[in-house]
């Protein structure tokens, strides 16, 4: 691994560790000062688990994995994609929890519902647009990979030609040129995207966390610092697993095996799965917008699938894990065969 990539991974690990230490440190510090029977004792674990569960939402996985696919295709290694996405997303919850803490009981349920309504419209539309656009880009990549794979099979392309095509950035770079590179060149650009995704406040995780903060603030039993610890723990859990997801997917997409055709085959499968997932999740979000804003009730069954995004997220992770594990087995097996063939060529007398 290049030195720059190692430094990036170290910085990411340090940042995730810092958020976890800050969240747990603040929480445990206040937990010791509260009565043993306080409801606050144990809430920190709930907030952390809610963050972890939210990291496995299908929209998180689709956004991170699709962006990783595009940036790797442009020759980059965006290990911090998931971290910045989670940071932007959890910033929404942190800001709202601060508002809840400062206003205590003054922020009425009606006020929160108004924010959820406005934020929900923005967040849902932003998520649908982003996922569908990036899915379209990934389908373009899929077309290029398919043509490259076909060229390798029929002999019209050499390994060197195929590698050159994969390094050129794909059809999106030719289609959009410098504009695409400007738009997807750094991991930090996922921060505002994550923020837009978080505006919806549609998941049970965020709503539950805000409810915990609101109850504590309204009762006056919890100090302001104790309330802030909850969204920090939420961010800690979400950033940890979203970061792991982006690092894993960068390694998957940038897999460097000497067998060029195997690499292209793996990328074909992964890109097809990623683009399909982004399309499905984007269509669900778009259906929500059409049902809510245009009254297209025919799409209500599709829109209702958003309530099961956590479950979809676990299924998606499982699919990726199975594909990657299978690819590793094939690569190792092929590597052993190639090594044996090479040894036989170098030592013909040892062949049976």
Each residue's pLDDT tens digit, 284-333: 888 988 888 888 888 899 888 877 766 776 787 688 778 767 766 765 66
Which structure tokens are listed for 127?
Answer: 């998520």
Residue 114 has pLDDT above 70, yes or no: no
Instruction: Compute how many other C-beta atoms are within 10 angstroms of the C-beta atom of residue 197.
Output: 25
Q: What DSSP string runs through 275-318?
A: HHHHHHHHHHHHHHHHHHHH--GGGHHHHGGGGGHHHHHHHHHH
Cα–Cα distance for residue pair 242/160, rounded to 1 Å: 35
pTM (2 decimals)?
Answer: 0.62
Which pLDDT band holds residue 169 (cuts at 50, 70, 90)? very low
Q: What is the predicted pLDDT for the residue at 18?
A: 95
Cα–Cα distance for residue pair 91/207, rounded to 1 Å: 14
Q: What is the predicted pLDDT for the residue at 15?
A: 93
Cα–Cα distance for residue pair 152/173, rounded to 1 Å: 22
Each residue's pLDDT tens digit, 220-261: 556 777 778 888 988 998 898 889 888 887 877 776 544 556
Which pLDDT band holds residue 178 (cuts at 50, 70, 90)? very low
Cα–Cα distance for residue pair 352/349, rounded to 1 Å: 8
Query: What are the angstrom distances between the C-alpha of 123 and each of 127, 129, 286?
Result: 6, 10, 11
Over residues 162-186, the mean pLDDT reads 52
């Amino acid at each position: 691994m290049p030195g720059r990539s190692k430094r990036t991974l170290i910085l990411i690990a340090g940042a995730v560790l810092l958020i976890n230490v800050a969240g747990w440190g603040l929480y445990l510090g206040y937990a010791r000062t509260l009565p043993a029977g306080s409801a606050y004792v144990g809430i920190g674990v709930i907030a952390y688990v809610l963050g972890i569960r939210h990291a496995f939402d299908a929209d998180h996985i689709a956004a991170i994995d699709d962006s990783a696919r595009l940036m790797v295709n442009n020759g980059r290694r965006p290990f911090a994609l998931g971290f910045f996405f989670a940071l932007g997303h959890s910033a929404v919850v942190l800001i709202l929890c601060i508002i809840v803490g400062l206003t205590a009981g003054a922020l009425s349920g009606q006020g929160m519902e108004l924010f959820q309504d406005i934020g929900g419209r923005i967040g849902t539309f932003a998520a649908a647009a982003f996922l569908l656009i990036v899915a379209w880009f990934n389908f373009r990549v899929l077309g290029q990979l398919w043509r490259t794979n076909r060229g390798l099979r029929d002999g019209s392309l050499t390994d060197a030609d195929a590698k050159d095509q994969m390094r050129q950035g794909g059809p999106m770079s030719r289609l959009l040129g410098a504009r695409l590179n400007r738009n997807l060149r750094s991991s930090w650009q996922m921060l505002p995207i994550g923020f837009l995704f978080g505006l919806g406040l549609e998941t049970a995780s965020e709503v539950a966390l805000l409810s915990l903060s609101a109850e504590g603030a309204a009762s006056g039993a919890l100090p302001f610092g104790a309330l802030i610890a909850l969204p920090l723990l939420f961010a800690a859990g979400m950033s940890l697993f979203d970061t792991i997801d982006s690092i894993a997917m960068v390694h998957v997409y940038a897999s460097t095996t000497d067998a060029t055709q195997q690499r292209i085959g793996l990328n074909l499968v992964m890109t097809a799965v990623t683009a399909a997932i982004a399309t499905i999740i984007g269509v669900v979000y778009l259906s929500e917008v059409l049902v809510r804003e245009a009254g297209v009730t025919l799409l209500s069954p599709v829109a209702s699938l958003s309530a099961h995004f956590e479950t979809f997220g676990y299924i998606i992770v499982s699919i990726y894990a199975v594909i990657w594990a299978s690819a590793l087995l094939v690569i190792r097996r092929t590597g052993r065969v190639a090594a044996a063939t090479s040894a036989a060529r170098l030592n013909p007398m040892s062949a049976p």
